[in-house]
Amino acid sequence: MAIEKLLIANRGEIAVRIIRAARELGIATVQVYSKADKDSLAVRLADETVEIGPPQASKSYLNQAVILDAARSTGADAIHPGYGFLAENAEFAAAVEATGLIFVGPTAQSIRLMGDKVAAREAAAAAGVPTVPGSQGRLDSAEAAFALVERTGFPVMIKAAAGGGGRGIRIARSAEEFHHLMPQAQAEALAAFGDGGLYVEKLVEGARHIEVQVLGDGHDVIHCYERECSLQRRRQKVWEEAPSPSLASAIREQLCASAVALAKAVSYRGAGTLEYLYDDRTHEFYFLEMNTRIQVEHPVTEMVTGIDLVREMIRIAGGERLRIHQDEVRVSGHSIEVRINAEDPARNFLPNPGTVSALAVPVGDGVRFDSMLYQGYTVPPFYDSLLGKLIVHDKDRSGAILKLRRALAELNVEGLATTKPLHEALARDADVQAGCFHTAWLEPWLESHAATLAAPSPAAKVAP
């Protein structure tokens, strides 16, 4: 059945993005919001709005019952969860469909299977996809975990089985560290995810973080090539690009084919991302996990392929089969996305919510700014600090970096500190320009460039 009215169970820039995609499909929208978000851009843009509770996410955006009530009361026939909050909650997906509504995303079964890192590794192995050497199942005791580590050797990563977003991870380089960190990882996993189960895998040092975008309709699956996401701070991505500057064509084909094989094996529906570690010294890649939702960094894939991923996942949820064949997917040029957060790089990225007293957004061919901002908007302190994403596209990577520098110079957000100075400095860095970095590259760089980030950047002086 075609979707006629879509409820967005999220906030911020992704809610704005979904509203715009739905409107381009002729679909009416309902935006739910907490009391803290009553003046948000998404609320201003949606056709209908419903207040769902106080600022605390646990009482609003994570409150499944009140969101389902909002859908019923407004006559919505579908719910889009965006990313974060309930996006990868299998129980919520099942509840949406049990209510007779459409969940814009994969089935609860797929979310449950791929959301558990251990089960996902097992599914990957069954599909012939390489995985990092480590535990074959959940490890619920320190004794079992250490017995495994004695076989694999150090260093190792201790990870939450039900985790995500870099939470619940510890790195142990010795037996002493392992015994000290294992209880910490269990406690954090239990507190963050309600599940203290862990697994252990070999640490591949100096590796890159590569992810493959897939689209499926429950029967067929295609890939939309890969993204490079190696520039990370505390395992959180800050700069993403497509295509990866590190992959040879043959490796790219193998990587993307493995992603399709795994997505097909779980009858995947909607937009999803498979994450890998890639060792560019040995040219080996290893499956890490699957994100069963739209990603923050999806725009770079859209820019190089011309495929609107959000519109496609709404169409698929409405019952359409894939309209795009694999041989029709082409990569053109290069795209880079940088995350603009309400954080102060000069003060160890201290969150800095506040009121946007002035706003100038860069424009021009190949420049896109996906955000929730408008002049006079007060950014609430209760949620993730992401304000928006600045995305550029050019014919090649060097051109994209130059365009990014120009666009950053024109971007002006006054009234609160942002991560703009970080990205200006990265875009001028010789290693970044050469594509020479890995997942552990950024944090030492930040330590050595602290003084640069504390000073006004040259580019900032030419901003309008």
Whether 293 is catalytic: yes
Q: Which residues are CB-contacts of 42 (< 8 A; sequence separation ≥ 6)? A: 8, 11, 12, 15, 16, 19, 31, 33, 372
Question: What gap in Å lies between CA 182 and CA 162, rounded to an integer?
Answer: 16
| Sheet-wide strand order for 198-202 | 170-172, 156-160, 198-202
Question: What gap in Å lies between CA 249 and CA 74, rounded to an integer?
Answer: 49
- Catalytic one among 121, 170, 233, 293? 293
Nearest to 329 by CA among 310, 364, 304: 304
Q: Which residues are CB-contacts of 203 (< 8 A; sequence separation ≥ 6)? A: 155, 156, 157, 171
Tokens encoding 159: 């990870």
Tokens encoding 218: 């429950």
Q: Which residues are CB-contacts of 382 (< 8 A; sequence separation ≥ 6)? A: 34, 36, 55, 56, 57
Cite the active site residues: 293
